[in-house]
Amino acid sequence: MIKPHGSDALKPLFVYDTEKRHALVAEAEELPSILLNSAAAANAVMLGGGYFNPLSGYMNLADALSVAENMHTVDGLFFPVPIVNLTKETGVQPGSRIALRDPNVEGNPVLAVMDVAAVETVSEEQITFMADKIFGSLDENHPGVATFTGLGNTLLAGTLQVLNFSYFQTDFPDTFRTAVEIRNEIAEHGWKKVVAFQTRNPMHRAHEELCHMAMADLGTDGVLIHMLLGKLKPGDIPAEVRDASIRKMVELYFPPNTVMITGYGFDMLYAGPREAVLHAVFRQNCGCTHLIVGRDHAGVGDYYGGFDAQTIFDEEVPAGALELEIYKADHTAYSKKLNKVVMMRDAPDHDKEDFVLLSGTAVREMLGKGIAPPPEFSRPEVAKILSDYYQSIDGRA
């Protein structure tokens, strides 16, 4: 199987030894504690599950600035975005041991125990520098920029021992998986070549066919459909609705035992190219050999060029930094001429009118009225699940 990023074996920060974990839970109740923000909590969950291998905890300021600038830590480890605990909390001392409490679960239970190596003040100039490098924008209307610049100016660096996976394991027991679990499942299947498909949205016909295309072109044993389960921007479809629609699509339109439907516990960054590289890093940690990167991957609004998330792998990711390979996809749509879904680049003789193209707004309006989009755009069984959801929220409005 493909090696994890940066090490020969995966190094998850979750404490798997039950006796040791119970002792840490008891100890944590006696430790000074801070309440994490959702971004830092999501980083802890991802560190716990082995997704951010080989990191041993939150980065210090020097590493965060270096990663933001050139995608390498001070010691030379390739990593595309800073993994930090930026906070507004004060009073934490370097060398201390603290409990990190979960902002996303009622009662704020302890999520992890942290040995604090450094407590550093981050200037506004440094926050701005990192935001500009990560997001390619300083526009406060960009959801990722707005979140990052509002986290706080105190950076807590140090190692973590993660005690649970927040709400993800309880709210999504059939879908949430750690990188450790995905690796194990790939090994159990005996799959050698696996392509990952990243999604924060429901999958329409074009996405479905894109997975089929990638599997055929690459000769893979299977596809990992890997959905984000964490915080999104307002208006995005909730994870449980996406999950239901994807499961129905796979059940009806994929051969048995060719798809793993899983999810990961992270808040969307909307960082476009940089987030695409992060997606590649943690899919390699999952055991995937390929990642589909399509048009405007991990983007939002008009902040990124349509294929910036592909060109970053050619222009900024050093050769050999990743073992995982990128499957570059074009915009995919149903061709009325060919009566099948194609990548637009493969149909140079087509005009726009030759494709079935619908805007997200148009699709939402149709679904909200109980009108199914054409089957060339969305499978009717998937459209039914989405229509029921949109009508339920429209009815509450």
Measured distance CA(394)–CA(397) in Å, rounded: 5
Structure tokens at 360: 């997200």
- The residue type found at 170 is T
Measured distance CA(226)–CA(278) in Å, rounded: 14
Measured distance CA(385)–CA(397) in Å, rounded: 19
Q: Quick one: which of 380, 393, 387 has its CA closest to 248?
A: 380
> Which helix (H) or strand (E) segment is 119 a member of?
strand 110-121
- Please give the biggest Cα pair distance in the chain: 69
Structure tokens at 139: 């526009």
Contact 76, 62 (CB under 8 A): no
Q: Say which of 97, 200, 247, 364 is annotated catalytic.
A: 200
Measured distance CA(156)–CA(226) in Å, rounded: 30
Measured distance CA(35)–CA(134) in Å, rounded: 25
* Cross-strand bridge partners of residue 203: none
| 200 belongs to the catalytic site | yes
User: What are φ and ψ of residue 168, in 5° steps?
Assistant: -65, -40
DSSP-derived 3-state class of residue 39? helix
Which CA distances in Å does 391 have to 205, 235, 362, 385, 395?
21, 14, 14, 10, 6
| 164 belongs to the catalytic site | no
Q: Say which of 21, 97, 153, 201 is annotated catalytic.
A: 201
Measured distance CA(267)–CA(228) in Å, rounded: 7
Contact 227, 239 (CB under 8 A): yes
Structure tokens at 304: 């990124």
Measured distance CA(80)–CA(92) in Å, rounded: 28
CA torsion angle 85 90 92 93 (round to 10) = 110
Measured distance CA(159)–CA(343) in Å, rounded: 45
The answer to whether the peptide bond before residue 380 is cis (omega within 30 degrees of 0) is no
Catalytic residues: 200-201
